Structure 1
Amino acid sequence: MEEDVWRFLAWHLQKAGIETVLVGGAVVAIYTEGLYQSGDLDMVPDEFERKRIEEVLTAIGFEARAGRYFGHPQCEHLLVEFPKGPVELGEEFPVTPAEELVSGEILKILSPTDCVKDRLAGYIHWQTRDTFDQAVLVCKKQAERIDWSVLKNWCKREGALGAYEELEKAVQRE
């Protein structure tokens, strides 16, 4: 569900010249093939232009909600948020997102490895166990696409090698 809505929105925004990167829980939902459900799409625009974003989304049936949120009357359970950028993963900046070509437009999303970093950042900085569990799910479903050496080096730079070791054990254990 999240993936279809993301592709639809990102395609229309990109067509209008508004580049976004999908981050957060919706990326987990996509890479776990729906094992995790997010409930929202976090799309970081290259430049925050609320008026232009609102124009594009209104034209395709979305309505502005409080703050940076948008919703669609036929999809009430899924909100779209446009947090201000840039995309950062802990102390890592800049982040180079993965690209996907959809009907002639390039859509951007965190790579599986960067998605795991994003989830681990929540675990490291806020001790949120659910984000750790999401990182484990992504590692299992995207095993061939995870760069473990990049994850290990990132955790070292974040001062959290223990989080990497815990992740490695959790993925091997299950």
Structure 2
Amino acid sequence: MPQGAPTSPYLSNLVMKNFDDYIGEYCEKKNISYTRYSDDLTFSGNMDVQALKSKVQSFLDVMGFSLNEEKAKILRRNTKQIITGVVINEKINSSKNYRKKIRQEMYYIQKYGLDGHNIYTNQNIMFSSLMGKVRYCLFLDSTNKEFKTYEKRLKSMI
């Protein structure tokens, strides 16, 4: 399946529908939270990990797929839990490194101005990219005062 194509999520959902129904029902009976984003499966709760892994693998085998052991992880409560680039431990948030890069861009824009910091060939592309990153952080944590300030500053530059 072509990665990044507009049809990829639809095709993934179509292919995985039976799996989602089967595993979703199993997880509901076992009081396990199950989510899937494309081919990233996430299970949360108290569970027999080996039994769940066996159940998942057996159904994937029937479908002609296999579990990627290198990507499979068991994350405990006291470890940083990142799912599809989002930190999900106590509260959902973007990673510290992601926010640090935005802070750095905002610093250089404030210091040198939008034109002086323009690393893109088109100022609109740079502005849209940075505004999108700021709004993504606010989507994950709408109470973040620092990023609300960044959004206001960027809007004032339009």
Q: What TM-score results when the alignment is normalised by the length of structure 2?
A: 0.41
Query: Whose helix fraction is larger, Structure 1's or Structure 2's?
Result: 2
Query: Highest CA radius of gyration, 1 or 2?
Result: 2
Specify which structure has the higher proportion of strand: 1
